[in-house]
Structure 1
Amino acid sequence: MTPGVIYPHIEKAEGQPARLQRIPRVRVAQIVMDYLAYGWSVEEMCRQHPYLTLSEAHAAMVYYFDRQDEVDNEIRLEWEQAQQAKSQASPSPFFVRMKARGLL
Structure 2
Amino acid sequence: MGAQNIQNSRPIREICYLLNETCRHHGAVTLDIADLVNIANNAMLETTHQSTEYKYIRLKDDGVPHIAETTMKVVELVTSHLTYGWSPAELHFQYPHITMSQIYSALAYYWDHKADIDADIDRRLALAKQQQATAPPSIVAKLQP
- TM-score normalized with structure 1 length: 0.82
Residues 31-89 of structure 1: CA deviation (Å, up to 9, x unaligned):
11111111111111001111110000000000001010011011110111111000000
1:10 corresponds, among 43, 57, 61, to: 57
Q: Note if 1:60 corresponds to 2:114.
A: no
**Superposition pairs of residues 31-42 of structure 1, within 5 angstroms:** 31-42=77-88
Query: Which of structures 1 and 2 has the larger relative contact order (alpha carbons within 8 angstroms, sep 6+)?
Result: 1
RMSD of aligned alpha carbons: 1.5
- Displacement of 1:15 after TM fit? 4.2
Q: What one-letter code is carried by the residue in structure 2 that aligns with 1:7?
A: Y
Q: What one-letter code is carried by the residue in structure 2 that aligns with 1:19?
A: H
SS at match of 1:8: coil
The separation in 2 between residues aligned to 1:55 and 1:18, in whole angstroms, is 16
- Displacement of 1:14 after TM fit? 5.7
User: Between Structure 1 and Structure 2, which shows a larger proportion of helix residues?
Assistant: 2
SS at match of 1:12: strand
Q: Note if 1:77 corresponds to 2:123.
A: yes
The separation in 1 between residues aligned to 2:113 and 2:140, in whole angstroms, is 43
Percent sequence identity is: 27
Unpaired segments ≥5 residues, structure 1: none
The separation in 2 between residues aligned to 1:44 and 1:62, in whole angstroms, is 16
In the alignment, which residue of structure 2 is the partner of 1:22? 69
SS at match of 2:127: helix
In the alignment, which residue of structure 1 is the partner of 2:135? 89
The separation in 2 between residues aligned to 1:80 and 1:66, in whole angstroms, is 23
Q: Note if 1:45 corresponds to 2:105.
A: no
SS at match of 1:6: coil
The separation in 2 between residues aligned to 1:39 and 1:49, in whole angstroms, is 15
- Structure number with greater Rg is 2
User: Which consecutive aligned stretches of 4+ in structure 1 deviate over 4 angstroms post-superposition?
Assistant: none
